[in-house]
């Protein structure tokens, strides 16, 4: 039986993962009908686009408020279209606040509900666990510790591996990366990553620029500002009050992975990029500043439960890298943390060994595992033994 699958991705990383998974589904089930909320990679992989992921590119508790009516209209419209097309299953990729609500309403109408990428309940709003479990038939997680969180809820939660670990080699070729970026200096190379969203860049730009100036003066560091899009340079310059070049930074756009491999050290905003740095075996200092209102509300409601916020520390279950959050995130602190890394070769070696161990654990064919689990779940549901 040819499956009809509705799919929905959130951000660009979700789009990339979804494209790999639907490609695997198409190979295993030729003729499968795939449609939904897509990004460019999903569309290129053969998914019929009913709406664009750009509609979900918002962040933060207060920042989201003004977008809520539109997001509800989008979700309601997708639900109706998916039902009208007779979707047998729905697969959400990341964007849990949007996708799991959509999954819940579809599950109530008899559609199999799958989520790829678990919400970060280990760090943020753990009270969501029971509601998530009721909303889904299958949860596919990228980290090995996540299925245990849903133990006893009745939800089928499985670890599939992480696509970044599959994509990056265990032994990164730093020499080749430096050659590609024309880095022939013997001085330390430091990658600066202020964030991938405009709001993050605005909050971090002045601090990152000041830290870069300190490192250039104190260590003769070669600073690379790694940006996702060309337009982010203007946002950074406006927020910092000067162009990155005026702070001695070289701007590299659209080559984050290559830049991380080439670097001796990274100063990175918390997020998926810190995992990418870990897999590149690049030591780092992690920082993050939330909008003031969001931070105060999160603290007041005690929404953050994890001891650590960065993925390297969560995966290592130890303080593998420094974390500087909100008022602790200053240019002086970041520069001092960077110098401490550069001065301690034993610490750097230990980091790389831990990073390699985590890489091996995560690299197990995430896209293929996800496609197999999704198709098996649909087949079992069709045969009436979905609980098997």
Count other Cβ atoms within 10 Å, centred on residue 57: 14
Q: Please list the residues that pair with 285 across neighbouring strands.
A: 267
Q: For the full predicted model, state whether its pTM sits above 0.95.
A: no
- Whole-angstrom CA distances from 189 to 234, 323, 339, 352 are 23, 20, 12, 17
| Tokens standing for residue 176 | 């080749």
| Tokens standing for residue 329 | 């995130």
Q: Can you tell me whether residue 161 is helix, strand or coil?
A: coil
Q: Using only C-alpha atoms, what is the Rg of the chain?
A: 21
Instruction: Quickly list DSSP for 328-365.
Output: G--HHHHHHHHHHHHH-HHHHHHHHHHHHHHHHHH-S-
- Domains defined for the chain, CATH in brackets: 4-161+364-383 (3.40.50.2000), 174-362 (3.40.50.2000)
Instruction: Quickly list DSSP for 29-53.
Output: STT-EEEEEE-HHHHHTTPEEEEEG
Query: What count of Cα atoms within 13 Å lies in the side-chain half-sphere of residue 230?
Result: 0
| Tokens standing for residue 30 | 């030729």
Q: What is the CA angle 166-148-275, rounded to 5?
A: 35
For every one of its 388 residues, what pLDDT tens digit does the chain have, with 9 covering 90 and above? 678 999 999 777 788 899 999 999 999 999 999 999 999 999 999 999 999 887 665 444 334 444 556 778 888 999 999 999 999 999 999 888 899 999 999 999 999 999 999 988 876 777 899 999 999 999 999 999 999 999 999 999 999 999 999 999 999 999 999 999 999 778 999 999 999 889 999 999 999 999 999 999 999 999 999 999 999 999 999 999 999 999 999 999 999 999 999 999 999 999 889 999 999 999 999 999 986 555 454 554 444 556 788 999 999 999 999 999 989 999 999 999 999 999 999 999 999 999 999 999 999 999 999 999 999 999 999 888 655 4
Count other Cβ atoms within 10 Å, centred on residue 349: 11
Count other Cβ atoms within 10 Å, centred on residue 167: 15
Q: What is the CA angle 243-247-251, rounded to 5?
A: 65
pLDDT number for residue 94:
87
Q: How far apart are CA 143 and CA 362, in angstroms?
A: 7
Q: Can you tell me whether residue 234 is helix, strand or coil?
A: helix
- Burial per residue of 290-328, b for 16 or more beta-carbon CB atoms within 10 angstroms, e otherwise: bbeebbeebeeeeeeeeebbbbbbbbbeeebbbbbbeee
Q: How far apart are CA 262 and CA 375, in angstroms?
A: 39
What is the maximal distance between C-alpha atoms in the chain?
68
pLDDT number for residue 56:
65
């Amino acid at each position: 039986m040819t499956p009809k699958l509705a799919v929905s991705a959130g951000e660009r990383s979700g789009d990339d993962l979804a494209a790999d998974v639907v490609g695997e589904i198409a190979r295993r089930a030729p003729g499968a009908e795939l449609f939904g909320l897509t990004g460019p990679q999903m569309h290129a992989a053969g998914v019929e686009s009913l709406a664009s992921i750009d509609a979900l590119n918002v962040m933060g508790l207060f920042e989201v408020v003004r977008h809520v009516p539109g997001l509800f209209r989008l979700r309601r419209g997708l639900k109706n279209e998916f039902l009208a097309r007779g979707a047998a299953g729905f697969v959400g990729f990341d964007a849990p606040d949007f996708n799991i609500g959509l999954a819940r309403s579809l599950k109530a109408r008899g559609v199999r509900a799958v989520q790829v990428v678990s919400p970060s309940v280990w760090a943020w709003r753990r009270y969501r666990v029971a509601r998530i479990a009721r909303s889904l038939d299958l949860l596919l997680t990228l980290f090995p510790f996540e299925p245990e969180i849903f133990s006893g809820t009745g939800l089928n939660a499985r670890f599939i591996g992480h696509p970044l670990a599959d994509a990056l080699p265990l032994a990164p070729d730093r020499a080749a990366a430096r050659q590609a970026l024309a880095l022939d200096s013997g001085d330390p190379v430091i990658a600066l990553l202020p964030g991938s969203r405009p709001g993050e860049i605005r909050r971090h730009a002045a601090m990152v620029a000041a830290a870069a100036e300190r490192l250039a003066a104190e260590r003769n560091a070669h600073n690379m500002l790694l940006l996702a899009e060309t337009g982010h340079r203007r946002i950074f310059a406006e927020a910092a009050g000067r162009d990155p070049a005026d702070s001695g930074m070289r701007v590299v756009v659209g080559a984050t992975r290559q830049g991380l491999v080439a670097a001796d050290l990274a100063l990175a905003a918390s997020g998926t990029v810190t995992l990418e740095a870990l897999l590149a075996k690049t030591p780092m200092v992690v920082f993050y500043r939330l909008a003031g209102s969001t931070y105060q509300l999160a603290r007041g409601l005690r929404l953050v439960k994890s001891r650590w916020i960065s993925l390297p520390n969560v995966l290592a279950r130890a303080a593998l890298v420094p974390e500087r959050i909100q008022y602790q995130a200053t240019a002086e602190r970041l520069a001092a943390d960077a110098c401490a890394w550069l001065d301690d070769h034993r610490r750097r070696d230990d980091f790389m060994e831990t990073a390699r161990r985590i890489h091996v654990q995560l690299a197990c064919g995430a896209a293929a595992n996800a496609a197999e689990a999704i198709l098996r779940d649909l087949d079992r549901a069709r045969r009436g033994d979905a609980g098997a």
